Structure 1
Amino acid sequence: MRVLFFFATLSLVSAENGLDGWLRYAPLPYNDQKLPAHIVVLNTTEASPVYVAGAELQNGLKGIYGTHAEVSHEQCENSSSAAIVGTVEQYQIACGSLNGVPELDEDGFWLSTWGNKVQILGQNERGALYGAFEYLSMLAQGNFSEVSYASNPSAAIRWVNQWDNMDGSIERGYGGSSIFFKNGAVVDDLSRVTQYARLLASARINAAVVNNVNANATLLDQENMKGLGRIADALRPYGVQIGISLNFASPETLGGLDTFDPLDSSVIKWWSNITDQIYQRVPDMAGYLVKANSEGQPGPLTYNRTLAQGANLFAKALHPYGGIVMFRAFVYNQLNESNWKADRAKAAMEFKYLDGEFEENVVLQIKYGPIDFQVREPTSPLFANLFNTSTAIELEVTQEYLGQQSHLVYLPPLWKTVLDFDLRVDHKPSLVRDIITGRRFNRKLGGSAAVVNVGSNTTWLGGHLSMSNLYAYGRLAWDPADDSQSILQDWIRLTFGLDRTVLDTITQMSMESWPAYENYTGNLGIQTLTDILYTHYGPNPASQDNNGWGQWTRADHTTIGMDRTVSNGTGFSGQYPTEIAAMYENIDTTPDNLLLWFHHVNYTHRLHSGKTVIQHFYDAHYSGVETAQTFLVQWDSLKGKIDDERHKAVRRQLDYQTGHSIIWRDAINDFYYNLSGIPDALNRVGHHPWRIEAESMLLDGYKQYTVNPFETAAKSIAIVTISNDTVGTATTRLNFPSETYDLVVNYYDLYGGQSRWQIYLNGKQVGEWLGNSENTFSHTPSIYLDGHSATRIKFRGVKINKGDTLKIVGTPDGVEPAPLDYVAFLPQGVID
């Protein structure tokens, strides 16, 4: 039953920093609704999920509606105004027979809310806690519906993968330092870990792998194993189990053996002993995550052993304890680009030939697409080729290639393109979501894992709006058939309140964000055209090619795209079942949004839309930018409806995104215009009548600098101060009509310094800013003038007269030489 709302507008809450995420329990009007006066908790052990569920219910009722419900543990409360929480078994022991409750799956729960009598019963204690959070979610959204229903998970595996390093850094982490590790050891204060467990449990996530897949063997030394026990203790009250990533070579690097051969008896004994020691400290450990023989990581192929033999080494050690091995199918090596049959997308298919050779407690963790978390990929064909091996889909809440939390990108619509895709195995319905849950091929294990690099930042991920992706991941892991917009709207109400305008506005922004990002970065299946050799953030399409990493576009002066057909290309399309293979093999039936993934075509090739490929590129990049500009306008309309602290923080990021989307647009369009020589039919690309190039201004203390890659500076030239202790000035006389403009400056904000700029009109200062994005934004900073460091700042409503003198003063700091690219004066309504 959907939420029934009775609030039109609500008073604002005090400033918030994001630490509570969607579990704010923000006050709402009581409105004479029936609420339980008592809470009966059917477990007295304080570290148990049922006990925690009682505390959450008490705190939630007090926080949301200001009511105090007494908690009792001694007996079953027969009053009609009680909320009873526990397992089905605990209820039957304490309260007697139970009618109407169906048999529940593991972690499932029953929720019944009739009047002010509430029953929250789990198949296990974790399920009971999930039911308590479900009830509180209803109350926090103003929903007093009378319901009686069971909710069961689609799959047993609902994990997150942290990429935390032992030194406290986080690989692809955009939300601060690790909450788990520091200086080679587990941190002393694990209070943030408990808070994180609370968020995970409320989204029904049941395990967290706490260290990087590129694992450090020192995690397994004696002191750190004790620390893992402490982490497990912090997670356990919320029903979240700990998992750990392993370095395959640990027997050699840590254990002092002369081999890590998975069939060597000493190696087998070493891993068995390590596993025994871990379970002595963590008796409920979920299992291991293993990345082997990929991107330089050690693995069984070193000894000519199969990947199945490598996985089974750990599976056998875990088997007595019921643990699971999540073995990543992300296994590839560098390739020879001159070989047109070479294709990284085919790498994972080697697991097809090992199907049936894995132990029952091995689950292959398969990225949703064949490459690496791109803005759009076809479904990995490996899902359709494993009939006797359990599988889990790997997603990435961390926006590694998708804006790194500095760009708003709501990811579930992307994930749903894969989860809802029908692979038509044996010409039968074969939705990916039914394969990973084990239903399609009758597997006992399966589910989801997501890279979620939360950090010490109070927003957890580096931005308030990015938390929608974590919440939605948990919801989709529980039920991958769920609707991404409905999930989003639940998150909005829980995070920002029940104002209808807030709900509609953030819904529109979020649902438009992934298509917009795809448009202004990489589209038609060409992948995310970011710099894959450096930070994975800003534009650098050339970095995709001329290297062995295999994320090739194969773009030249006349053609673009990978030929992955069987008839003339790499043969990748033939790895799909017959119906899907035929669709992708034929250029006429391949969807336009994946054309360049499967086919190598001329820039003048006509799409189904009638546009040429190159014109679509130009148009899409302009369209994406136009959409991105609306995000800030929409968010500004919510001022006064959202607390100032969060409103300002999100506004700062959206303002940045409006500028960086233009940097992306210009870089990609300029690159392909330069490569193809084909002009934009609308004469936009390379035509910017409102800009003044910095190098064309009168320079004092500044000098010209050629930017690489060339497309990340207008006309490839910027200016930098002549030394790091010289103040530079750039001056020009304005020739624009006299009126009011938005004044835009495109500059570069490098890591390693915080330059300062002042801007003057006729000697009067009209703007000033500091190059401190490394402290204010979440993305990985850059030490170069490039598409990562390129930044735009806008000063709105600046009145100028024709002939006025503009002067910019740049004061360098550290290694940052106060770089500038151009200035623009934009009339009302002009995006640039």
Structure 2
Amino acid sequence: MFPRKKHLLFLIVLLPFLAHAQEGSQLWLRYKPVEKHIASQRRIGLRDQHKTAQLARKELERYWSGPTIEMHIDKGAKRLKEGYQIKGSASGIHLNAAEPIGLLYGAYHLLRLQETKADMRNLFLEEIPDYDIRILNHWDNLDRTVERGYAGYSLWLWDELPGKLSPRYEQYARANASIGINATVLNNVNASPEILTSEYIVKVKAIAAVFRKYGIKVYLSANFSAPKVLDGLADSDPLRKPVQQWWETKVKEIYQQIPDFGGFLVKANSEGQPGPQDYGRTHADGANMLADALKPYGGLVMWRAFVYNPTAEDRAKQAYQEFVPLDGEFRDNVIIQIKNGPIDFQPREPVTPLFGAMTHTPQMIEFQITQEYLGFSNHLVYLAPLFKETLDSDTYANGPGTTVARVTDGSTFKNKKTAISAVANIGEDANWTGHDFAQANWYAFGRLAWNHQLSSEQIAEEWIRQTFSNDAQFVLPVRQMMMRSREVAVDYMMPLGLHHIFAYGHHYGPEPWGEMEGGRPDWMPWYYHNADTVGVGFDRTTAGSGAVSQYKEPLRSTFNKLESCPENLLLWFHHVPWTHRMKSGRTLWDELCMHYDRGVHEVRAFQKVWDTLQPYVDKQRFEQVQSKLKIQAKDAVWWKDACLLYFQTFSKMPIPYQVERPIHELQELKKIKLDMKHHN
């Protein structure tokens, strides 16, 4: 027996190793090493000595159980970019690429086919990524807290760097490379200037060195006030020479340490962050100053269009109003990073009208993988349908068929560089993402960033087969559950175009009443739902805020008319009477009730489905998901009761008898104040 103190110390030392061994840490990379007798019967041929090419060979030598593979780099095949070509049959496979990273991506594609039991007879495929830059945005702070992160503390152990490298850095890089992600922003867009100090640049260099052989470039979020804060300049005015020189010197220092540094992501003049408008300058002035400093090294500026400041205007109009007048004024190494919707990563939003409105400025989309508004890591919500809904939305910017995907991938406006980004949901939890099914959203973003034509169903099936089981008795029900999950969350949270009626600050639970004193109107849920005795919804028509006028025709007219507006966006664009007849024949009030009720019942159905699948899943992951589904089912009832009881105080209409009766009292629900330490 250990004495108690020694026993505790032993457990503390052992815990990291136990955590690493837990199911879930392998993500979708659950390859089994190939048996020796099979390995001896096939060969992995490669002449190139590049580290990345050798990494591809190593992965295949260890895990590939198929025929001999000959790998070859053809530098003349520039059209492949980072892509690859695979030709083969049962007797042998040729994997060709223009660059070493293409061989690594091709190797992971072959292993994906193997793991999903795909038919590999007479293989012929060519894969070229749709976007040049496929980037994760980490909202990680230097104290290792993660803004809107629900999987534990940050992966980046700044206190240990550069001397000690966590093994998870390489595991993270490998997981990203396996789905084609080739860039990462290490720190929060609400950036600390300290990340740009010499001390931290050396730490970033150490991480970049690990990522390099996996084809991943490092970017940093830059605080616009860094010259003033770090070195005492009088200000950070982008048109003043001393400020410009400060950035030039700082960028030179970064590239001396990290020659393949990607560039800066910038959040400026939004939510209190400093920016060029502090000095009477424009977003273009600020972005161009940084772009000029980065230009000699091939670096990029990703300038966020999420501008959220006090305004008398409808908040949904703000980004369009600030950026469209600047079209054509940005340097060619600036890309405007735009959230998928006009407000803020809601469970459902219309696509922002800013996409396609700037025909002379490269634009990139920003998604959120972390579930800030979708139940954190407690709710099973598969996000590929949300991503696809946005990417496939027609902007009509250049006539019919000008989808968001085509606006951002360079096929419409022939951009010099194309990019797509998403806010990461990754933390130090053993399973990386807090919820085992949240891994699917990281996976789905990577796959769609590579090929936006993939279907949500195909991506879900790939992920299930690699992560859990190839058994059809498991794959089919789980895929169906995943495919329904986003719509179910919309139903029990905010159906029919309702949005942003979350609890203030943490955004976890419902708080449509929003009774915080002294807050700005656009911080308050009632600003967005506008419920009164007549009806509910935000009037963004030409008779209201006029936000519909930012859309091209025919979207403008479609959204503007109550009769033609899609019902799933109805309350986004219209203030609708409670008694309005919906397409179902029900009143708006009854329809709202039915949606909330359906959401609750479908989450309970998820519980039943998962419980039947126990024989197919290891005990730990089965119980982890089962526990999360219990929380989600309780939360769905909380949402339903809070919203219906609150909105009923305005509608004065009865909840239909076929809808499950509320189990809470409104006044009790209003008293709930969560300690979010339990959710982070």
Report Cα offsets for 1:245-288 as digits up to 9, x if no partner.
00000000012111100111011000011111111111111111
Q: Equivalent residue for 2:510?
A: 539
CA distance in 2, matches of 1:234, 1:105: 25
Q: Equivalent residue for 2:6?
A: none
Residues 1:713 and 2:673 are matched in the alignment: no
Q: Return the letter of the residue paired with 2:23.
A: N
Q: Equivalent residue for 2:57?
A: 54
The 5 A counterparts of 1:444-459 are 444-459=416-431
CA distance in 1, matches of 2:41, 2:318: 56
Q: Equivalent residue for 2:45?
A: 40
Q: Determine helix, strand or coil for the equivalent of 2:355.
A: helix
Report Cα offsets for 1:32-52 as digits up to 9, x if no partner.
99997111233334xx21111
In terms of Rg, which structure is larger? 1
CA distance in 1, matches of 2:283, 2:185: 21
Q: Equivalent residue for 2:95?
A: 120
Residues 1:282 and 2:255 are matched in the alignment: no
Q: Equivalent residue for 2:601?
A: 626
CA distance in 2, matches of 1:490, 1:442: 32
CA distance in 2, matches of 1:214, 1:36: 54
CA distance in 2, matches of 1:629, 1:35: 50
Aligned residues: 654
Residues 1:169 and 2:145 are matched in the alignment: yes
1 or 2, which has the higher strand percentage?
1
| TM score, norm. by length of structure 2 | 0.92
CA distance in 2, matches of 1:652, 1:111: 42
Q: Equivalent residue for 2:550?
A: 575
Which of 455, 463, 466 is the aligned partner of 1:491?
463
CA gap of 1:687–1:55, structure 2 versus 1, over 3 A, is: closer
Residues 1:312 and 2:288 are matched in the alignment: yes
The 5 A counterparts of 1:11-22 are 16-22=22-28
Q: Equivalent residue for 2:3?
A: none
The answer to whether the Cα contact below 8 Å between 1:573 and 1:585 also exists between their aligned partners in 2 is: yes
CA distance in 2, matches of 1:266, 1:103: 41
Q: Determine helix, strand or coil for the equivalent of 2:615.
A: coil
Q: Equivalent residue for 1:470?
A: 442
Residues 1:206 and 2:192 are matched in the alignment: no
The answer to whether the Cα contact below 8 Å between 1:39 and 1:84 also exists between their aligned partners in 2 is: yes
CA distance in 2, matches of 1:361, 1:187: 34
Q: Equivalent residue for 1:703?
A: none
CA distance in 1, matches of 2:426, 2:49: 32
| Larger relative contact order (CA 8 Å, sep ≥ 6) | 2
Report Cα offsets for 1:435-488 as digits up to 9, x if no partner.
010111222222310000311111111111111111110111111121011111
Q: Equivalent residue for 2:373?
A: 401
Which of 206, 224, 237 is the aligned partner of 2:200?
224
CA gap of 1:332–1:187, structure 2 versus 1, over 3 A, is: farther
Residues 1:415 and 2:360 are matched in the alignment: no
The answer to whether the Cα contact below 8 Å between 2:491 and 2:599 also exists between their aligned partners in 1 is: yes
Q: Equivalent residue for 2:242?
A: 266
Report Cα offsets for 1:230-256 as digits up to 9, x if no partner.
010111111111011000000000121
Q: Return the letter of the residue paired with 1:711.
A: L
CA distance in 1, matches of 2:340, 2:199: 36
The answer to whether the Cα contact below 8 Å between 2:48 and 2:73 also exists between their aligned partners in 1 is: no
Which of 206, 229, 235 is the aligned partner of 2:211?
235
Q: Return the letter of the residue paired with 1:107.
A: E
Q: Return the letter of the residue paired with 1:519.
A: D
The 5 A counterparts of 1:547-696 are 547-549=520-522, 552-566=528-542, 568-682=543-657, 684=659
The answer to whether the Cα contact below 8 Å between 1:36 and 1:83 also exists between their aligned partners in 2 is: no
CA gap of 1:187–1:554, structure 2 versus 1, over 3 A, is: farther
Q: Equivalent residue for 2:316?
A: 345
CA distance in 2, matches of 1:585, 1:642: 49
Displacement of 1:54: 1.2
Q: Return the letter of the residue paired with 2:584.
A: S
The answer to whether the Cα contact below 8 Å between 1:82 and 1:116 also exists between their aligned partners in 2 is: yes
Displacement of 1:637: 0.9
The answer to whether the Cα contact below 8 Å between 1:26 and 1:140 also exists between their aligned partners in 2 is: no
Report Cα offsets for 1:782-809 as digits up to 9, x if no partner.
xxxxxxxxxxxxxxxxxxxxxxxxxxxx
Q: Return the letter of the residue paired with 1:56.
A: E
Displacement of 1:184: 10
Which of 321, 339, 357 is the aligned partner of 2:297?
321
Report Cα offsets for 1:63-116 as digits up to 9, x if no partner.
xx5x9xxxxxxxxxxxxx632234223xx9xxxxxxxxx653321111122224
The 5 A counterparts of 1:89-238 are 89=75, 104-143=79-118, 144-182=120-158, 188-238=164-214
The answer to whether the Cα contact below 8 Å between 1:365 and 1:394 also exists between their aligned partners in 2 is: yes
Residues 1:527 and 2:499 are matched in the alignment: yes
Displacement of 1:380: 0.6
CA gap of 1:283–1:687, structure 2 versus 1, over 3 A, is: closer
The answer to whether the Cα contact below 8 Å between 1:529 and 1:544 also exists between their aligned partners in 2 is: no
CA distance in 1, matches of 2:455, 2:475: 16
The answer to whether the Cα contact below 8 Å between 1:409 and 1:466 also exists between their aligned partners in 2 is: yes
1 or 2, which has the higher helix percentage?
2
CA gap of 1:492–1:544, structure 2 versus 1, over 3 A, is: farther
CA distance in 2, matches of 1:456, 1:42: 38
The answer to whether the Cα contact below 8 Å between 1:384 and 1:577 also exists between their aligned partners in 2 is: no
Displacement of 1:496: 0.6
CA distance in 1, matches of 2:489, 2:260: 41
Q: Return the letter of the residue paired with 2:652.
A: G
**Unmatched tracts of structure 2, length 5 or more:** 1-19
| TM score, norm. by length of structure 1 | 0.75
Q: Equivalent residue for 2:73?
A: 87
Report Cα offsets for 1:641-669 as digits up to 9, x if no partner.
11111111111111221222111111111
CA distance in 1, matches of 2:294, 2:196: 15
Q: Equivalent residue for 2:11?
A: none
Report Cα offsets for 1:524-549 as digits up to 9, x if no partner.
11114321x22111111123997332
* RMSD, matched Cα: 2.4
The answer to whether the Cα contact below 8 Å between 2:83 and 2:129 also exists between their aligned partners in 1 is: yes
CA distance in 2, matches of 1:147, 1:132: 14
Q: Equivalent residue for 2:13?
A: none
Q: Determine helix, strand or coil for the equivalent of 1:160.
A: strand
The answer to whether the Cα contact below 8 Å between 1:461 and 1:467 also exists between their aligned partners in 2 is: yes
Q: Determine helix, strand or coil for the equivalent of 2:608.
A: helix
Q: Return the letter of the residue paired with 1:83.
A: I
CA distance in 2, matches of 1:15, 1:292: 42
Report Cα offsets for 1:466-520 as digits up to 9, x if no partner.
1111111011111112101111101110101211111012101101111110000
CA gap of 1:242–1:42, structure 2 versus 1, over 3 A, is: farther
Residues 1:436 and 2:408 are matched in the alignment: yes
Q: Equivalent residue for 2:399?
A: 427
CA distance in 1, matches of 2:280, 2:671: 51
Displacement of 1:605: 1.6
Q: Equivalent residue for 2:17?
A: none
CA distance in 1, matches of 2:605, 2:500: 22
Q: Determine helix, strand or coil for the equivalent of 2:563.
A: coil
CA distance in 2, matches of 1:371, 1:213: 17
CA gap of 1:666–1:27, structure 2 versus 1, over 3 A, is: farther
The answer to whether the Cα contact below 8 Å between 2:560 and 2:573 also exists between their aligned partners in 1 is: yes
Displacement of 1:615: 1.1
CA gap of 1:36–1:389, structure 2 versus 1, over 3 A, is: farther
CA gap of 1:669–1:195, structure 2 versus 1, over 3 A, is: same
